[in-house]
Amino acid sequence: MDGRGNTMITGIDLALKIVMPLMRDVIDGLSKEEQGRLDKYTTILATAMDKLDPAIRAAVAVDLQEQMDSVAQDEERATYMEQVRKQREELRKQEQENTP
């Protein structure tokens, strides 16, 4: 791959790192400024993807999907860990209440 391809992949990686956190905010509702930023970075990403070789484009799409899956898994893990923490606290309270 030539230097231009590496630069483009670096640009896409940077765009993904910026867009991914913004995507999570979509659920909570974005301000007008954030919507503009999301649109801007999504456009940059789409333009860069259009210029990539099809094989590289497929690899980047897989990487994007893996990052989105990772974000979902992180959120699920955090929710699970919070549930475990609450259960442990509840067990400690019960043990303290049952200790003479």
Cα 38 to chain centroid, rounded: 13
Mutual angle of helices 54-98 and 32-51, in 10-degree steps: 140
42 and 68 in contact (C-beta within 8 Å)? no
Task: Tell me if residue 16 falls in helix, strand or coil.
Answer: helix
**pLDDT tens-digit profile, the chain (100 residues):** 445 555 556 666 666 677 666 666 565 566 778 777 777 877 877 787 777 777 777 777 777 777 777 877 888 888 888 899 999 999 899 888 887 6
Count CB neighbours of 2 within 10 A.
7
| CA–CA separation, 92 and 20 (whole Å) | 38
